[in-house]
Homo-oligomer: A and B are copies of this chain.
Amino acid sequence: MSELDRTTVGNVGVVTPQTLHFAEPLTLANGRTLPFYDIAYETYGQLNADASNAVLICHALSGHHHVAGFHPHEDPATAKPGWWDVAIGPGKVIDTNRFFVVATNNLGGCHGSTGPASINPETDKPYGPDFPIVAVRDWVKVQGYVADMLGIKRWAAVVGGSLGGMQVLRWSIDYPDRIANAVVIASAPKLSAQNIAFNEVARQAILRDPKYHGGHFYEHDEVPEVGLTLARMVGHITYLSDDAMREKFGRVLRSDGYRYGFDAEFQVESYLRYQGESFSKRFDANTYLLMTRVLDYFDPARDYDHDLAKTFAKATCRFLVMSFSTDWRFSPERSREIVDALVRADKEVSYAEIDAPQGHDAFLLDNPRYLAIFGAYMRRIADQLEAHHAA
């Protein structure tokens, strides 16, 4: 990390999540309206005088607004920090000594923002399956309202991986005046049939779990744990590369020999079960369904004759696009589709394909070349901002 070591590389420390309440109705892309809603968010660093140093972090399927640091009740010695702590903090890639970082929990989430588990004012019961299916463009619109509340007219950068990257693309298309830089990591311009197919398996696992109760499980005091466990297991396989699984687990057994049964015998089995079960205890099933549908539906070129270059025509920001060699969920090819379209649309774009064995998960991990390229890009933004102020 020596290249990034401008000051002291560290952690943002203890962060208290905030909530913004929006009392105005929100009309969604699907035509429905939410009468009011809350958005949970966190910020790190200080907004500068002209509010030009703000960076928005967009989260992926199972993410949230807790991106870096620790929560007040947590012990930093034992707790895991926020999900992108590797990239965000003092002296890190997104340097909180220079940038003011904002992260929201997207609408429909289950970490403090209004979502399916929230009370539906029309029924005084949780929305459950009646929560409207939102779209990436709704999230981005709401992130814009959050920016308004925080006094941010234009983001220095909007940054995200996977589904987060789709939000970044949407920002560049829908609000070209409000985004200076777009950092799109391990993402895709739309899901492939195979991507949708994996989402559909996850959805069917949840929808067909008897404990899902048609989405009204809250009222039955049950959780479709089996469905969520299976959904996460299948998802998890797609986050890891074949190579990463070989490296991490191979065919290693948990005991000396075959036991000829269906208990977890191979280490990869117990790992997956653990991942699935722990996820099922902390994530809302309706939110999972909703997030997978947001992914399926994202296809900005639909409004532009399915021409991705035309889709980006009005974008004015600079783009950094990054992908990972062994990512088969959103392969480098999918990132190159974005890059090719941006080039055809005559936009300023840098592209880096990072050699990384970990598959899709690589965007969350400490990979020196990835963090160096990402860090250099962010450092240039900060340098320009500071040069502008000094001038």
Contact = CB atoms under 8 A, between A and B. Distances in A.
Interface of A: 30, 32, 129, 132-133, 190-194, 196-198, 200-201, 203-205, 207-210, 226, 229-230, 233-234, 237, 240, 242, 245-246, 248-251, 258, 260-262, 264-266, 268-269, 272-273, 276, 289, 293, 296-297, 299, 328
Contact of A242 (B133, B194, B233, B237): B194
Contacts of A192: 242, 245-246, 251
A15 to B, nearest CB: 34
Contact of A262 (B132, B234, B289): B289
A207 to B, nearest CB: 6
A180 to B, nearest CB: 31
Q: Work out how many copies of this chain go into the complex.
A: 2
A139 to B, nearest CB: 15
Secondary structure type dominating chain A contacts: helix
Contacts of A129: 262
A95 B130 CA distance: 59
Contact of A230 (B205, B210, B242): B205
B30 A258 contact: yes
A269 B30 contact: no
A299 B251 contact: yes
B30 A260 contact: yes
Contacts of A272: 197, 200-201
B203 A262 contact: yes
A263 B228 CA distance: 18
Contact of A234 (B133, B234, B248, B273): B234
Nearest to A270: B200
Contact of A266 (B30, B196, B264, B266): B196
B201 A234 contact: yes
B208 A250 contact: no
